């Protein structure tokens, strides 16, 4: 089989994985002429998630042969898809070739499991090693880690990759057991814990290194790199019956226990010849979007995971989770824009992190009034029902236009979403 055909098969096989984004790593470029690649700018995205979103990396599998039989995966052993396998050199050459032609900005490499987890991991790492050591590739590399691979291999992968990821796959251990019987939730978490330990060790090592010595520059000595863009994971949404509350609980645990940089949510989309254990219809993309918004609230807005799903276990599909929280907690409002601390301002619907910073800056100079909100570029109609200003106090009913529409059952959309989810698993 020629490389072009393999590329068609193995890029298509990788498109279901959304856990890649080249954010957060150290900045490198090729302006010194020592090697190709860059971790910033200049890339053209040629990988697409099944829903059509563009992901700016060459995203391929080393092989779509797999000895596991995860029911939600198009590459599972029992699937009758056409199989292919790249050699290590083929992936190296494709990456360099695409990079030089300005088609990609980096590589996202994953693989089906062949022979053993260690054997597969060695092959994946060898691609990254050759790119870095033989070709001095400076671009972004994201390697998918095989959960049962050895500690040495995880350490080695982190030396070459910007980001490592291990997919948690599903929100609960029971769902994983049902849909991916060869995988073990405990092994996936062990693998995340080992990567976190490496981050801790490298951070400690850097902290202990002397920042200055007599007759030496004050610059800290370079620390050995280990996946500077951190670790991430992907969770499939809507392949099992887990509700949004459970999904967010799992995410909160992963962020807290394993210092994950990102949890990516991937709305389940049916695969060819799917198992009857899976829902026949895709999960709503809006559900995935609401989970990303809720995830953002946990990471940057100080929301605890258990306050986000305000009624029942599902997020509203009609309004964003911060607005839903505000509508469900009228006693928390209005918030005085001139006196409230930053953490309270972050709770106002329509105020993002940047607008809160602008507001804090503005009110140092003088009292902020109604007319200042336009200048501060905040969505006035969304903010005013929840805030107090010297020349504005919200009245009862001001927030009514922001409420989700009442559906045919007389219940808001979150109940419909719950129904929809229940239908899929009835």
Q: Tokens 């880690």 label which residue?
A: 145
Neighbour-count burial of 280, counting CB atoms closer than 10 A to its CB (0-12 exposed, 13-18 middle, 19+ buried): exposed
Nearer to ligand SF4, 242 or 305 (CB): 242
- DSSP one-letter string for 122-186: HHHHHHHHIIIIIT---SEEEEEPPTT--HHHHHHHHHH-SEEE---BSSSHHHHHHH-TT--HH
Q: By CB under 6 A, which span of 64-72, 122-130, 230-238, 417-425 interacts with ligand SF4? A: 64-72
3-state SS, residue 107: strand
Q: Is there binding between residue 65 and ligand SF4 (CB under 6 A)?
A: no
Give which of 345, 333, 320 is closest to 396, Cα–Cα: 333
User: Beta strand 54-55 with 47-48: parallel, antiparallel or unpaired?
Assistant: antiparallel
Least distance (Å) between residue 193 CB and ligand SF4: 20
Q: Is there binding between residue 271 and ligand SF4 (CB under 6 A)?
A: no
Q: Is there binding between residue 75 and ligand SF4 (CB under 6 A)?
A: yes
Least distance (Å) between residue 83 CB and ligand SF4: 12
Among 43, 106, 112, 117, binds ligand SF4 (CB under 6 A): 112
Q: By CB under 6 A, which span of 72-80, 128-136, 153-161, 351-359 interacts with ligand SF4? A: 72-80
The rounded distance, in Å, linking the Cα atoms of 360 and 373 is 12
Q: Is there binding between residue 66 and ligand SF4 (CB under 6 A)?
A: yes
In angstroms, what CA-CA distances link 98 with 58, 207, 255, 334? 8, 38, 34, 54
Among 76, 156, 245, 382, binds ligand SF4 (CB under 6 A): 76
Q: By CB under 6 A, which span of 31-39, 73-81, 133-141, 278-286 interacts with ligand SF4? A: 73-81
Encoding tokens for residue 31? Answer: 């302006």
Q: Is there binding between residue 73 and ligand SF4 (CB under 6 A)?
A: yes
Give which of 302, 374, 380, 379 is closest to 345, Cα–Cα: 302
Encoding tokens for residue 176? Answer: 């994983």
Among 113, 161, 188, 283, binds ligand SF4 (CB under 6 A): 113
Q: By CB under 6 A, which span of 67-75, 272-280, 281-289, 402-410 interacts with ligand SF4? A: 67-75
Residues touching ligand SF4: how many (CB under 6 A)?
9
Residues that bind ligand SF4 (CB under 6 A): 66, 68, 70, 73, 75-76, 112-113, 180
């Amino acid at each position: 089989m020629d490389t072009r055909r393999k590329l068609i098969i193995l890029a298509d096989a990788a498109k279901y994985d959304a856990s890649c984004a080249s954010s957060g790593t150290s900045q490198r470029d090729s302006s010194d002429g020592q090697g190709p690649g860059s971790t910033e700018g200049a890339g053209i995205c040629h990988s697409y998630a099944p829903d059509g979103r563009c992901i700016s990396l060459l995203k391929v599998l080393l092989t779509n042969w797999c000895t596991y039989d995860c029911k939600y995966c198009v590459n599972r052993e029992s699937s009758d898809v056409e199989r292919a396998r790249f050699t290590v050199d083929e992936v190296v050459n494709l990456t360099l070739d695409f990079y030089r032609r300005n088609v990609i900005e980096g590589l996202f490499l994953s693989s089906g499991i062949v022979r053993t987890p260690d054997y597969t991991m060695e092959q994946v790492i060898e691609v990254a090693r050759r790119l870095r050591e033989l070709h001095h590739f400076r671009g972004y590399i994201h390697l998918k880690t095989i959960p049962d691979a050895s500690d040495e291999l995880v350490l080695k992968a982190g030396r070459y990759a910007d980001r490592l990821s291990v997919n948690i796959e599903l929100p609960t251990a029971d769902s994983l057991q049902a849909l991916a019987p060869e995988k073990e939730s405990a092994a996936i978490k062990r693998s995340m814990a080992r990567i976190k330990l490496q981050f801790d060790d490298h951070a400690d090592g850097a902290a202990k290194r002397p920042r200055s010595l007599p007759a030496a520059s004050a610059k800290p000595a370079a620390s050995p790199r280990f996946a500077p863009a951190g670790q991430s994971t992907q969770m499939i949404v809507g392949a099992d019956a887990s509700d949004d509350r459970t999904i967010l609980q799992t995410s909160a645990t992963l962020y807290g226990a394993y210092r994950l940089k990102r949890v990516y949510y991937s709305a389940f989309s049916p695969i060819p010849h799917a198992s009857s254990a899976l829902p026949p219809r895709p999960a709503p993309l809006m559900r995935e979007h609401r989970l990303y918004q809720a995830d953002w609230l946990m990471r940057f807005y100080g929301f605890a995971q258990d306050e986000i799903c305000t009624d029942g276990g599902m997020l509203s599909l009609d309004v964003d989770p911060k607005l839903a929280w505000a509508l469900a907690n009228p006693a928390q409002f209005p918030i005085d824009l001139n006196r409230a601390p930053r953490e309270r301002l972050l709770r106002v619907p329509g105020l993002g992190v940047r607008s809160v910073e602008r507001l804090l800056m503005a009110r140092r100079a003088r009292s902020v009034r109604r007319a200042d909100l336009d200048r501060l570029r905040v969505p006035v109609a969304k903010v005013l029902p929840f805030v107090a200003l010297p020349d504005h106090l919200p009245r009862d009913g001001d927030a009514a236009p922001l409420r989700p529409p009442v559906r045919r059952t007389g219940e808001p959309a979150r109940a419909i979403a719950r129904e929809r989810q229940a239908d899929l698993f009835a």
